[in-house]
Structure 1
Amino acid sequence: MKKGIILIIFLLLLINISASSIISTKNDESIYVLLNYDGKVKKVDLVNWIEINGNGNFSIVKDGKYLKDIRLYNEDTKVSVSQGKIIIQGNAQGHKNIYLTGTLNKKLPLEFSITYKYNGKIAKPESFVGKSGDLEIDVNIKTLEDLPFRVVMSCEFSADDFVLKNLEDFMVMVLGKTVRLTGITYPIPKGEIKLLISGKKLKVPAFTFTALPSIPPVDLSIKDQIKNFSDGLEGFLLLNQAHQKILKGILEGFEKQTPSIPQEFLTLPFTLVSYQNKAYLLSRNIKNYPQNFSKLYEFIKNKAEDKEDKDWQTALNMAENVKKEIEESRFSDDAKEIGDFLKDLSFQSQKAMSMLTTSLEGIQKIEELLNIMLYGGEIEGKKIPGLVDTEKEIKKVSGKLKENLNTLQKGEEKIKSWEKKLEDYNFAGKIEGAKSVVRFYYRIEEIK
């Protein structure tokens, strides 16, 4: 029996310990910063909302080394400070909200600098408040930590007081005579919001700047598209270089193997015509030779018949033999045939030379086109870029793409580092085991 009671008590203790341990905590910090007219910090306060979900006793430990004047707004909860730690103890039944305030003494993540120009000249509020004219309020914001912030400016004034000159820079809501302005900037690392107003009775309206740790809406998906395009461009560059090598090889082959025409080949048709004319002249001379020889033959014959002289008789016999050979000879026709052959050969050589010249001119045109493809030039009056110049341009574009890719890569790495920092970002003081949400409210009071 005693063993059963002990077992029940032990189980109840386990249940109680288990129930009390299932408690989640959320740390919501709102930091209110009061700024002077020039953006310098006057006061920093914390409003800390600690949300507890679960059942049982709890003991929350918050880092409080930057806090003073701590005040707790829960009567059923105890708070104590020990060695820079804020210890909050109490009991939760399902849900419990704890509100804690204090004054912060810590360097803020954003720095504001505000300047004023009254009628174009830098001025302080006391020199233009209540006067008429043009007023430029220039708010410059700079981050002091490696964190991104979305800063939303809100401002409200009466339409009777001011006329806003740069409406296009803001989201504007008009409710009767009340004008509400909203402007957004991401100071990475700097941001600027500028108001251009004019009025008959100038004043500095109240401004509130809500700063939230937030990743800027940047779409880096284009990185993959640029990388694919860059890779494709590299392939095109290799193809360009391969074509250059091919064309240079062809041109080198032309330079080494293109035949040149020897001078004697160029004059061959004219030489053949000269020999052709000589052959025709020889043919005519041979043809006319029998007529001239017949006169000589008659003279020798008459002398041989008139005188019974052995020498003249011998001369007649020799003349008759020559006459017989001349009558039977085809020397004239052979010479003419040689002339005809030379004439035909001259014609064919002229034709061959014309064809060869045409072929060489065609080769030269092909060589010119290849040079234009390689180095650029003009075709039909149009300037054509060559592969060499195209390669240079491709390399320039490729270099720019690589720079952009490198920038996008760094941007992607930066965003990942920011995401990691923002996972557990807190400012006033970390609560062990709690998820934190942080908001900053910077405010400038109205000056009139």
Structure 2
Amino acid sequence: MTILIALFGTLILLMAIGVPVAFAMVGSSVVVLAANRGLDSIPYEMLAQRTLYGVNSFTLLAIPAFLLIGRLMNASGISDRVFNVARVMVGHLRGGLGHVNVLSSMIFAGMSGSAVADAGGLGPVLIKAMDRDGYDRGFSAAVTASSATIGPIIPPSIPAVIYGALANTSIAAVFLGSIIPGLLMGLSLMALVAIISHRRGYPVSARASFAQFGAALVTGFLPMLTPIIIIAGILSGMFTPTEASVVAVVYCLVIAALVYRTINLREFWAICRETAVDTAALLAIIAGSALYAWVLARYQVTNQIIGTLTGAIESKYVLLLLLTLFVLAIGMFIDSVPALFLLTPILVPLVTSYGIDPVHFGVAMIFNLMIGLVTPPVGTVLFTVQKVADLKFGTLIREIIPFYIPLMLMLLAITFIPGLVLFLPDLLLR
């Protein structure tokens, strides 16, 4: 346990003084090795091999592909088409644009796999439309932020790819296990939107005509095929999740450049450059986390944790509750991707020893970390939406507090009712 405290404490200290996460992981690993072996005895060649091994994975090729898909969707005007489809479907309900906001995020989630991409791409369109119809700016921003967390839940999902690679678990199973929780998450947010809209008397729009409904579906049909291509291709065995991400990139590029003609060669080059920068940052974290995980394994830290907790905690439900609170606290201070790299090597062997399915736990942990994206002090989506909405941070926090209720209730449901996650993987894969 001393090694774990030293590793985790050094990591938090380095991050607190502004060291990037990737270098903080490497630094904390080197500090522990130096303390135990001495500077002259550190196996530097092994350190280099371990960091390189961390990024030498075919599975991780899906990460830049899904990042590229999100940027292509945002740059090609897909956001407006998604908004129109959602509007003709639920815009006639009380507080219709609030429901449109949530449904748009659910549709967009099947294309981008990123909460920040959702908030940054759909946010300006949704908040502007809600302003025009008389909604409070704080409410509009709160709905946008909370619904953006659906992005990494409904597949494709970048966190699911990362978790599957780190936990040596089927990414296809994690994808399928995320579908029902993502849909329930959207429905629970829409229920809250309906309650608040009735209390505040938000407007009701006219029901879309059959012609309007058909026109919106025609314009949005091609982008909405993206998640179907990915999931259908994986389930049919035509391609792996990594290959599916590349197929989806080609499909989205054809739509944007040749069908809609909203992206030219110069813009595509800029999108690729931005994606490369984001990918490099993620791969640096992956490399650092590989070394961090190796140090944990080298000193058998995970085995010590399992041995300690097994003697103190008998019920897997008590363990799940404690881990839920722990991950929730971590997500409030560390962004979701670094948190996945930090926690997965430690927690997956632990929950597996209690007979908890790693797919079930993975979806629950990803869902948990997504809540962290909309909680202070380190809420990436909160800051993105605050910037988009040009709103005071305190106003946004005050308005988003009610939305924590459905998010927390869904987190508890997913954590303690494994069937919500495992039904589709068991049905279609096992």
* TM-score, normalised via structure 2 length: 0.16
- Write 1 or 2 for the structure with the bigger share of helix: 2
TM-score (norm: length of structure 1): 0.16
Higher strand proportion, which one? 1
